[in-house]
Structure 1
Amino acid sequence: MPKQQYVEFHILQTVPPANLNRDDQGNPKEAFFGGVRRSRVSSQAWKRATRIEFDRHLPEADQSTRTKQIAKQLSERLKGRTGLEAEQVQRLAGALLEPLGIKAGRKAGDTAYLLYYGGGQLDRIVDLIADRATDLAAASDDDLTAAVKGLKIAEELKTSHPMGVALFGRMVADIPSLNVDAAAQVAHALSTHRVELESDYYTAVDDANESDDTGAGMIGNIGFNSATLYRYAAVGVHQLIDNIGSKDAALDAVHRFGRAFALSMPTGHITSFAHRTRPSLVAVVVRDDQPVNLVSAFERPVPATDPSGAALGVAAESAGSLAREYLRSVRQWGDEPAHAAVSHAFDGDADDDIARAFGGNLPFEEMLQRLDQTLARTWS
């Protein structure tokens, strides 16, 4: 078995006029790359969209949440299991969490920072006291503190991580023992070409206006752009196995991550732009040395035509550029991947370039199934 292994997901996705991820001015985020201004969607924005999509297909007990309200969620679980009053379960929850040393936030009941954990982990903490919760609720503060002191509460948050926490990791600066090294890396999505910021000036009419009142009820501006984006993520299978503690569960998580990453979409201003699209290309590459982001394929901004002057379109040109960069990288560095496959929506010259790089075009689900088979053989 390899000491390490990485599964990469390379995606090209064309998005119509949209404002997926805004900056402090309310405009779409951008980056300067290859000498020109590009559209950018931050890794945080797409990771959150991926987490939401990922959890949507899991049983509730296996889902994860990132919140400051761990005390509230623990209280709700205690109340559901024990039937105690709200004040009693809040007191018990506070006592259970106190040994962790989690700092309190400004708002009563909140923690000072977002904590990422699984619902199943909270359920196991409840299990530690569920059968004697009534007696503990009646105990004095000193007796309650002494009773919970010896419980392995921290261990429940340090082990048996749900898939989400195992993939995306957890950072608690002042409690390093609760940290989880993320198995997934997600890059900022960048347009493969130059973009220009545009502005939508809009008005809203007051429907109850009299016929002679022609003024607008509201006016405003929304910044937007449109782009073909290169999206990239990598999952360290070895790290994921360590985090979850099960090879089968880890390989299942890779499959689920691939689907969630491909089908997720940040929802900024989505009701204004209805910008949800499907990727034009999803390529999967498995490497045993290190992950390789192929954004260098787009260091030179992609034009709307190929070098011969034929009009291919930005997406097709981007697909060809990605395939050629992959082949160049393999030739130059000799890092022949353990597995490569692709699902895409192109034909003609772009299809030929893609096939030389990643193999024949596969339906998306079949591509993921072949990835499953490759990983199963590797880790069996």
Structure 2
Amino acid sequence: MKNLYLDISILHPNPASNMNRDDAGSPKTVIYGGVVRSRVSSQSWKRAVREYFNRNKNDKLVGTRTKDAVELISKRMVEIDNSLKKDDAVKKVVEALKKENKHGITKIDKNNKTSALLMLSYKQIDKVAQYILNNGNDLDEKKLKEILMDDNSLDLALFGRMVADDPELNVDAAAQVAHAVSTHEIVPEYDYYSALDDEQPDDAQGAAMLGTIEFNSSTLYRYANVNVNELIYNFGRENAVEGVSEFLKAFILSMPAGKQNTFANKTLPGYVMVTIRKDTPVNLVSAFEDPIKSHGGYMKESIKRLEKEYANTLKFVEKPIANFVLSLEDIKHLDDDLFEDVDGIDSLLDKVTEVLNEAVQDESSND
């Protein structure tokens, strides 16, 4: 099947916030174009996407990343066969999974936890539990691995799985998520706060607690892409296009939750560009290598820069299959032939789904 990629470029304004902190509690930053920018790590936004999936309570969308695989599988075994004692179920799972055993796949410590986080879909947990129950001591390593490579949840299919103890269980990620960076220079700011003890005497002096929180404000450029063919391999041909749509919606609407109770920075993107390509993904962050300078907001100039950069990249790459834009701003495009406006997120998802379905079906008919 020929290459098929989906690029997502988002401009996202944020007021005072500290949604992704470093080890000292400061908002993460990066030096780009010679100046300090606000940064939100890719891991942080992937976590936000998984949390968005999880709010739907849909096991097809989200699995679990945990060291407690033994606990989850043994618990499921007892649910399936209530005559089985929990301790006996745990022993069976350890026997099945422990690397030192003939059919094991991962190291398990004395507390029955895996040595590293293991990503599993809930269907995989169910099937491993049923397989161990059905086969007792007659377990087959190859069959166990087949179960753990099938029925991936969408988050597992998108973001992949690495099993250092057994690379045969690795799943190559179908999506790449860039660190979000501000389109302009930022200046760190500090909120000095105090808290009073409600029960202290009226004539008492001073606060019961003092502190500071570092924050900044920014307009972020966010980027992600999806290798549709890899997603088909990981998630199934019949599910892949729906999976892209679910990821697109979640990536647009999700936000890392750091210090939300303090800053309530629950903003929406101001501009979304979705590009469907056959040659290669393209991150357009280079539009902002020269930081935007403004005293009247950054969004409008960021949109102009982004669209100009998109047009410039066409000197190097093929013209995409489609390029859709959803914007809260009234904008005049550099070239109307390069951008197809949509009037809402539902329309965007419908158009992306339509184009991808057609592309996937065309390639399928040529296989």
Cα RMSD of the aligned pairs, angstroms, is 1.8
1:184 matched to 2:207? The reply is no
Partner Cα separation in structure 2 for residue 101 and residue 131 of structure 1: 19
Alignment match, 1:370: 351
User: What is the aligned counterpart of 1:315 among 267, 288, 299?
Assistant: 299
Aligned partner letter, 2:20: N
User: What is the aligned counterpart of 2:238 among 248, 251, 275?
Assistant: 248
Alignment match, 2:104: 100
1:62 touches 1:120 (CA, 8 Å); kept in 2?
no
Q: Tell me: CA distance 1:150–1:69, structure 2 relative to 1, closer, same or farther (3 Å).
A: closer
Offset of residue 357 of structure 1: 4.0
Partner Cα separation in structure 1 for residue 64 and residue 134 of structure 2: 26
Q: Tell me: CA distance 1:287–1:61, structure 2 relative to 1, closer, same or farther (3 Å).
A: closer
2:178 touches 2:222 (CA, 8 Å); kept in 1?
yes
1:34 touches 1:301 (CA, 8 Å); kept in 2?
yes
Partner Cα separation in structure 1 for residue 61 and residue 243 of structure 2: 12
Runs of 4+, deviation exceeding 3 Å: 129-132, 350-357
Aligned partner letter, 1:253: G
User: What is the aligned counterpart of 2:190 among 178, 199, 222?
Assistant: 199
SS in 2 for 1:128: helix
Aligned partner letter, 2:47: R
Partner Cα separation in structure 2 for residue 228 and residue 325 of structure 1: 17
List aligned pairs for 1:1-380, cutoff 5 A.
2-57=1-56, 59-60=58-59, 63-83=62-82, 84-98=84-98, 99-105=103-109, 108-130=111-133, 136=136, 144=137, 147-149=138-140, 152-244=143-235, 246-304=236-294, 311=296, 313-330=297-314, 332-347=315-330, 350-353=331-334, 355=336, 357-380=338-361
1:326-370 per-position Cα deviation (integer Å, ceiling 9, x unaligned):
11111x2252111110111001xx343485642224211101110
TM-score by length of structure 1 reads 0.89
Aligned partner letter, 1:346: E
1:91-148 per-position Cα deviation (integer Å, ceiling 9, x unaligned):
122122123331125x71211111111000010112214457xxx5xxxxxxx4xx33
Alignment match, 2:365: none
Partner Cα separation in structure 2 for residue 90 and residue 68 of structure 1: 14
Offset of residue 151 of structure 1: 7.3
1:324 touches 1:357 (CA, 8 Å); kept in 2?
no
Aligned partner letter, 1:50: V
Q: Tell me: CA distance 1:241–1:344, structure 2 relative to 1, closer, same or farther (3 Å).
A: same
2:181 touches 2:221 (CA, 8 Å); kept in 1?
yes
TM-score by length of structure 2 reads 0.92
SS in 1 for 2:341: coil
Aligned partner letter, 2:129: V
Partner Cα separation in structure 1 for residue 62 and residue 222 of structure 2: 25
Q: Tell me: CA distance 1:182–1:354, structure 2 relative to 1, closer, same or farther (3 Å).
A: farther
Percent identical across equivalent pairs?
40
Partner Cα separation in structure 1 for residue 61 and residue 53 of structure 2: 11
2:17 touches 2:216 (CA, 8 Å); kept in 1?
yes
Partner Cα separation in structure 1 for residue 139 and residue 10 of structure 2: 49
1:20-66 per-position Cα deviation (integer Å, ceiling 9, x unaligned):
11112110000000111100001111111112212433523653111
Aligned partner letter, 2:108: A
2:74 touches 2:129 (CA, 8 Å); kept in 1?
no
Alignment match, 1:308: none
Q: Tell me: CA distance 1:225–1:62, structure 2 relative to 1, closer, same or farther (3 Å).
A: closer
Offset of residue 150 of structure 1: 6.2
2:59 touches 2:153 (CA, 8 Å); kept in 1?
no
